[in-house]
Structure 1
Amino acid sequence: MKWFQYKTAIVTGVFLLNSFLFLSCGSSSGKKEVKAEVVAKEREEKEPEGIVELSEEQLKAVGITVGPLEQKNLNAVVKASGQLAVPPQNKADVNVLMGGIVRKITILEGQAIRKGQTVAWLENQEFIKIQQEYLTTKSAFAFTQEELKRQKELNEAEAGTGKVLQQVQANYNTEKAKLSGLEKQLQQLGINPLSVANGNLVTQVSVTAPISGTIGHIAVNTGTFAEPGKPLMEIIDNSQIHCDLIVFEKDLFKVKVGQKVNFILTNQNNQEIQGEIYGINKSFEDESKGIIVHSIIRNADRYKLIQGMYVTALIDIGNQVTKAVPVDALVRSEGKDYIYILVGMEEKTNEKDSSGDKKSEAENHYQFKKVEVTTGVTELGYTQITPLEELPQDPKIVTKGAFYVLSKSKGGEEEEH
């Protein structure tokens, strides 16, 4: 009997001990779950879901830029490609009318020059001969002029004959024409006839620039014999540079004079330039079934444009506009496209340690929200988008560096998990 009571007491004690341990464990687990829920709730209240916060210092460090959501004409356009060109009147070859040895070249390739500026000096014995001939002819003309005057006086006094007067008049006209021709030749060579008449003969003549512009390739050296018909060098004036675009047959009826053109330099960091169509050719280029369309460039002197640069252009044929963002503003995650919009900004105080002394500095912090979009055509560095949720009026978006914002967001999610 005593043994039975003792055994019952032991079993009862073990049962009570297990019950106490179970309640203790349950209470501790419950406290941990409650604490986790409180922490998660506080974090959710502090940082709303989908919001990424970056400081102004972070934005500057990685080159993130913020700008407006733009409206771009990406639909009603004709796409074309072509090259920059210079009108014929803005290109010139430097030639000589009379051959000679190049004694001096006064310019360098790539140098800017003015119209009439000397580019080289030529020497030739023929220059001396033509000046001598001019002096001889001038003397003969002076004699003939005096003889004509004398014969007219004799004829008026009825002391001369009409036949002699006619002969002198013919000689006078011949010498006058010859003298005038030699004067023109000297002027074309750059020699002043008046200076030659005063006895100042020159052995070298200057070759001058026919237009203002920039010196291109120089085809001669010092000592080279320059021949007529063979250019010494070329000059290009890029002030009137324009764009020649090739438009194919299927798009010809859409293109008209006066339409606006936006084009980018293919090999110049996609720099965007604006222009306007001023002329359309009326014949096809070879067998390409393409027509050359000429477009002027607005403010061409603002850009470093060179003849032959390749361009890609969009000819504006309508007035439809759509929301568009720079290609750097789009990010792709889990098979979807997103942009980041600025939803808030606040000033916060940061603790910074400088030489062991802590100091407080105020800094702006920006909050960005990820918004899913669908994309359309991409042209001239911009992509058409359609947001899948309503955006605030005149929203500000991340125009560059959106990938960093996305990576920051994903990094934050990993830390939370």
Structure 2
Amino acid sequence: MRTVGIQMGSIESKELSNTIKVSGMLTVPNQNKAFVTPSYSGIVRSLYVQPGSYVSKGKVIATISNPDLIVMQQQLQQVNGQIRMAELEVTRAQQLYKGNAAPLKKLQQAQTDLATLRSQRSGLQKQLGSIGATQSYGSALSVRAPISGTVSKVIAQIGSNVDMASPIAEIVSNSALHLDIYVYEKDLAKVQPGQTIHFTLTTSPGKEYDAKITSIGTAFEGESKTVPVHAQVVGDRTGLIDGMSVTVVISLDNQTAASVPTDAIVNDKGQDFIFIRQNDKNKGDRGNVPDSGEASNNKESEEKEVRFEKIPVAKGVTDLGYTQIIPLKPIPDNAKVVVKNAFFILAKMNIKGEEGHGH
């Protein structure tokens, strides 16, 4: 055996994790994305951010200017002046009415005019406030971040003409990174909300991240016979960005069963096999695998030859370099199994045309 590197071992009882690997993509839900748009049209005069900048909600990221703001502010100042005059008129009408020098109708008209002007002032104040403009004269308007997050792109530039339909920038918050994966129908029953899964970046598999399944789809995705499963990333998010491709490992269950090193299993014509070493009493009638070196004569060769039996098996879970097996024919207790270079025995057997035994 030493000349061909054959190594022997035993069938072991091991608890292995039944896992599946699927591809996925990191996404950010729409409620964690925002376009930065002005509340009023204007020309971009300054930009204070660039892609990759972190901003807090309410931070000024740009200023725009529009001369029309001055028109609105002027209207407000005019209304304020009219209100002061209307208040004086109401006071005068009250005095005249009390002295029976003016009819009640004149007092009521003065009060109505004052209420109308105050309503106009309130409307102008709210209009200026809603777009972030001051009530004093000025054409500049500050544009603020609607959410906290990282600037993913800056769309506008100095001098751009923007309005409510023209974003200046886009902000993405990675505080709620999601993971979209697709699971085949046969594995769906073993995936549950709340289950923790592990994933690595497809382009950088060295670091492992965690996510927790939040929801499972109820319909197949196109013709793929897969169902969408959504998870939320938990724990460390360092280096994770919206749109990254990931490889996900989902642990389905743990199983304890007879196992052998994965290299001990060979496949011949679609059937999986292992090789066990036969007892000495069964040696003899076919070609053997030499234990070491060349035999000097036939007698010495027979003493050093080892006989193997080919056992069909059904494979189960593979994990940590081991694969669970179910022998499809009885094997002796404490049987010695070829755990390395089993393919050499298979090749020798096929060359000699042997079906069940190798020597």
Deviation of the 1:234 alpha carbon: 0.4
Matching residue's letter, 1:313: V
Matching residue's letter, 2:52: G
Deviation of the 1:125 alpha carbon: 0.9
Deviation of the 1:84 alpha carbon: 0.7
> What is the 5 A alignment of 1:12-411?
74-75=17-18, 77=19, 79-152=21-94, 154-155=96-97, 160-193=102-135, 196=136, 201-301=137-237, 303-320=238-255, 382-385=320-323
Matching residue's letter, 1:174: T
Q: Is the 8 A contact 1:72 1:323 kept in 2?
A: no
Q: Secondary structure at the match of 1:202?
A: coil
Matching residue's letter, 2:72: I
Aligned equivalents of 1:82, 1:115: Cα separation in 2: 30
Matching residue's letter, 1:93: F
Matching residue's letter, 1:254: K
Deviation of the 1:141 alpha carbon: 2.7
Q: Is the 8 A contact 1:376 1:383 kept in 2?
A: no
Q: Is the 8 A contact 1:244 1:292 kept in 2?
A: yes
Structure 1 or 2, whichever has the larger Rg, is 1
Deviation of the 1:73 alpha carbon: 6.0
- Structure 1 unmatched runs, 5+: 1-49, 51-70, 325-329, 338-374, 390-417
Give the TM-score, by structure 2 length: 0.63
Aligned equivalents of 1:321, 1:305: Cα separation in 2: 36
Q: Is the 8 A contact 1:241 1:307 kept in 2?
A: yes
Q: Is the 8 A contact 2:66 2:139 kept in 1?
A: yes
Matching residue's letter, 2:232: I
Aligned equivalents of 1:98, 1:293: Cα separation in 2: 41
Aligned equivalents of 1:383, 1:140: Cα separation in 2: 87
- Structure 2 unmatched runs, 5+: 1-6, 8-13, 267-272, 275-314, 326-333, 335-359
Q: Which residue of 1 aligns with 2:295?
A: none
Aligned equivalents of 1:278, 1:313: Cα separation in 2: 15
Aligned equivalents of 1:259, 1:298: Cα separation in 2: 12
Deviations 1:112-165 (A, max 9, x none): 122222211211111211211121122223333443444455556665444334
Q: Structure 1 residues 243, 100: CA separation in 2 closer, same or farther (over 3 Å shift)?
A: same
Matching residue's letter, 1:304: G
Deviation of the 1:172 alpha carbon: 2.8
Deviations 1:210-233 (A, max 9, x none): 111111121111111113211111
* Higher helix proportion: 1
Aligned equivalents of 2:219, 2:93: Cα separation in 1: 67
| Number of aligned residues | 270
Q: Is the 8 A contact 2:216 2:229 kept in 1?
A: yes
Q: Secondary structure at the match of 1:175?
A: helix
Q: Is the 8 A contact 1:106 1:118 kept in 2?
A: yes
Q: Is the 8 A contact 1:377 1:383 kept in 2?
A: no
Give the TM-score, by structure 1 length: 0.55
Aligned equivalents of 1:161, 1:288: Cα separation in 2: 85
Aligned-pair identity in percent equals 34
Deviation of the 1:238 alpha carbon: 0.9
